[in-house]
Amino acid sequence: MRLLDKAIDLARIRSDHRSGNVRVPFRIDLRDYANWLAGKNPFSPDSDALRPADSQISLESFLTFQVMHASGGHSFSVSDFSALARVSHISIVLDGFDEVADIPTREQVVKEISKASTRLEATCRSLQVIVTSRPAAFAKSPGFSQNEWQHFSLKSMNLPQINKYAQKWMSARQLSQKDKSDFRQVLDQKLSQPHMRDLARNPMQLAILLNLIQTKGLSLPDKRTALYDSYVDLFFSREAEKSPMVREHRDLLIDLHRYLAWVIQTEAEKAKSIGSVTEERLKQLLRNYLTVEGRDRPGLC
């Protein structure tokens, strides 16, 4: 906000947060970086396009290529980034680590980010590196060492936080006062039910619930199964915008999620698991399901 002279927005920030270092921010989608490590150009409309021949796998090389792409083609090299880092406070946000599911790729992502952080810390005037992730999908998933990285976990949102988030959500969508009043009435009714409050416990799930209320209103189902089906449907609609694989195999993926959820839930209830599976166990479950159901295997296992 300070770099862009957003005075009105800046005035809404607590005064003790306004006096910190002005950091030049960079955001990287780790799914894009994973494709880069696999030799692909994640910004090309051609899914088979290769990474530029003169590029490196390093995080810095990817970051500078992303800047060139997002700026419309302005020249920006690793040397330029290094020169900027020497005189600037830098913040690098690496988003969506949970969306890098392949084990060898996750290991390489961790390795390259750690190496880049060490290099930049030695030369950067001030460096902040943040990696975001949902909980690991399966047991013993490669991650960042707690000895070298600080780990923070979001707590479940309480009711006042849910209401504050909902108010900001409605304002961001520029709902009229009448629409806000109607929306609030439906939201209050739904949140009075324990299983609805469970679905509003984190920002992503709350955002899905708010979208469902906006599109379905009072017709939003109260029964858990129908409600969860609506949740899953909207979730996959969001994911389909990001992935051709999801768009092409949406119905199969939904069926697989239902099956896996049933297996994990029943095993947890019988104290046979803690609600997670190993990679090999996950693949075994998927193969068994596809074989029994006589479904095609579109490269999922």
As given in the structure block, the two tokens for residue 201 are 């416990």
pLDDT in tens, 23-45: 999 999 999 999 999 999 999 98
The owner of tokens 């109607």 is: 182
pTM of structure: 0.74
Q: What is the CA radius of gyration of the chain?
A: 22
Q: Residues with Cβ < 8 Å from 201, sequence gap 6 or more?
A: 156, 157
pLDDT in tens, 164-185: 999 999 999 998 999 899 899 8
Predicted confidence band at 85 (pLDDT cuts at 50, 70, 90)? very high
Query: Rounded CA gap, 163 and 159, in Å?
Result: 6
Q: Within a 10 A sphere around the Cβ of 200, how many other Cβ atoms?
A: 24
| Residue environment code for 140-168, b if the CB has 16+ CB neighbours within 10 A, otherwise e | ebbebeeeebeeeeeeebeeeebbebbee
